[in-house]
Structure 1
Amino acid sequence: MTRRTAGSAGSPNASAHSCTSPTSIMRSATAPPVPSTGLSSGGRGGASDLIAIGGRRCDGGCVGEDPDRPVRVAEAFADAYADQPPWEIGRAQPALVGAADRGLMAGHVLDVGCGTGEHALLAASRGLAATGVDVVPEAIRQARQKAAARRLDVRFEVGDARDLRALREVYDTVVDCGLLHVLGPPDEARYVAELREVLRPGGVVLVLCVSDRTPGDAGPRRMSRADIDHAFADGWTVESVEATSIEVAHGWDDTVHAWLAVIRRD
């Protein structure tokens, strides 16, 4: 891996923003995992064993870290969508809006773990081709409703982040707002490998994740800059890692400190 820290890397006064991911409380279902079925247009099929979220850090609480804790993540996340999930703030995260303003979203954009689609919709509102994929059918249903209401052309699919090739598209930019920080090591490696498969050489991944500067241990794991470097160690250049924050709708009393990483495919 090549690492460049251009300009704003690690600056604590970087802009704040809003995204699709920190989870303070979630119930993990314990049904046996099912194999991924790739994409589906509805229902609860596919990708349901992708990740495990609990009301604690992913120290053995993520699929791949503890084989004795299989979960159906689509069902666990679907429970959150019965109400308003804390990560759904009704707009794009400011940090990612800032990234778009700086020209870091370009070409065909994939919003992976898109939730109700705010970052794919952001890309489309700026005239870019956009696709969103998420494990939760209800989130995709709401994303499609938003696209129709805003008269934006976005492809939204239910699918598995570990099988992005099932989308049968190639991208110039991938937005990861809150997915990386809920993956255990084996799934993280598989996910990053899939990103290489669907991203053009020279393409960019924008990762917004909870940082190790956030107090407490509820919700997703806290990622260090070293964790980001490790995840993208082979075939990637980590161009910058900026300190910022994630906005949440509820359930988090303290500031959710975050990293915004700009990572380029070699």
Structure 2
Amino acid sequence: MSRFSPEFFDSVYRETPPWDIGAAQPAILALLDEYPPEGPALDVGCGSGDHVFALAGRGVQVLGIDVVEAAIAQARARAEALPPAVARLLEFKVGDALHPTLLQRRFGAVVDSGFFHLFEQDQRDRLADELEATLLPGGRYYLLAFAVEFPMPNTPLKVTEDELRARFTAERGWRILEVRPAQFESRIAPVPAVAACIERLRG
């Protein structure tokens, strides 16, 4: 299960969340540079939209989904200031990002900046299954997650390279293109993280 409640995120988005740095995470942008995504793309737990804007700016059709209505409202408001050529490539939706199959759409890329690390192991297993069903063959999953855990409530759970390699295996239909140490930038201080690009094997 997740240690976070929807009410927690609702309260955080009444102000500026510490993870909202006003731009896409550099570690995610580096993965997108090295392993270019194929559209359409999905940003799970998109928050106020930084990675959606980054993908659309690269010419990729993209949907951002988040359960927090305030976050989606902020993202839509920010999108109004974009050039029309970029704005037409993006969409935001309030919904359950843990179950992207409910969208009944397939994607060439899924971006996950700070979503996977919200969950305990059972829900991570479920999310991996959902990603398998959501990504097109050859589609890529771009992940950035905390690599440390803090002994306090409402903080993410640790994700390790070993865990990712054990969960996203060839036997389960995956190929790890990259997994490496990274930093998760925040308005407080950078946090040690793990970054990965994982490809859905072609049938």
Which structure has more relative contact order (CA 8 Å, sep 6+)? It is 1
Residue identity opposite 2:183 in structure 1? S
Deviation of 1:51 (Å): 2.8
Instruction: Report the secondary structure of 2:110's partner residue.
Output: strand
8 Å CA contact retained: 1:134, 1:161:
yes
Deviation of 1:112 (Å): 0.5
Structure 2 residue 51 is matched with structure 1 residue 119: yes
Residue identity opposite 1:240 in structure 2? E
1:52 aligns with 3
- Alignment deviations for residues 74-104 of structure 1 (CA, whole Å, 9 cap, x no partner): 2111111111111111110111122222243
TM normalised by structure 2 equals 0.88
8 Å CA contact retained: 1:188, 1:231:
no
* Unaligned 5+ runs, structure 2: none
> Equivalences for 1:26-175 in 2 at 5 Å?
51-53=2-4, 73-151=5-83, 152-153=87-88, 154-175=90-111
Equivalences, count: 193
- Residues 134-143 or 180-189, more deviating: 180-189
Structure 2 residue 121 is matched with structure 1 residue 189: no
Deviation of 1:158 (Å): 0.9
Distance across 2 between alignment mates of 1:265 and 1:249: 33
8 Å CA contact retained: 2:28, 2:143:
no
Structure 2 residue 202 is matched with structure 1 residue 262: no
Larger Rg: 1
Structure with greater strand share of residues? 2
Residue identity opposite 2:101 in structure 1? R
* Unaligned 5+ runs, structure 1: 1-49, 54-72
Residue identity opposite 2:185 in structure 1? E
Residue identity opposite 2:193 in structure 1? A
Q: Among all aligned residue pairs of Structure 1 and Structure 2, give the percentage whose two residues are the same amino acid.
A: 34
Structure with greater helix share of residues? 2
Structure 2 residue 168 is matched with structure 1 residue 236: no
> Equivalences for 1:9-20 in 2 at 5 Å?
none
- Alignment deviations for residues 27-53 of structure 1 (CA, whole Å, 9 cap, x no partner): xxxxxxxxxxxxxxxxxxxxxxx7323
Residue identity opposite 1:51 in structure 2? S
Structure 2 residue 199 is matched with structure 1 residue 245: no
Distance across 2 between alignment mates of 1:189 and 1:108: 24
Deviation of 1:163 (Å): 2.0
8 Å CA contact retained: 1:99, 1:105:
no
Distance across 1 between alignment mates of 2:11 and 2:200: 35
Residue identity opposite 2:32 in structure 1? A
Deviation of 1:217 (Å): 3.9
Deviation of 1:225 (Å): 0.9
Structure 2 residue 122 is matched with structure 1 residue 204: no
Q: CA RMSD in A?
A: 1.7
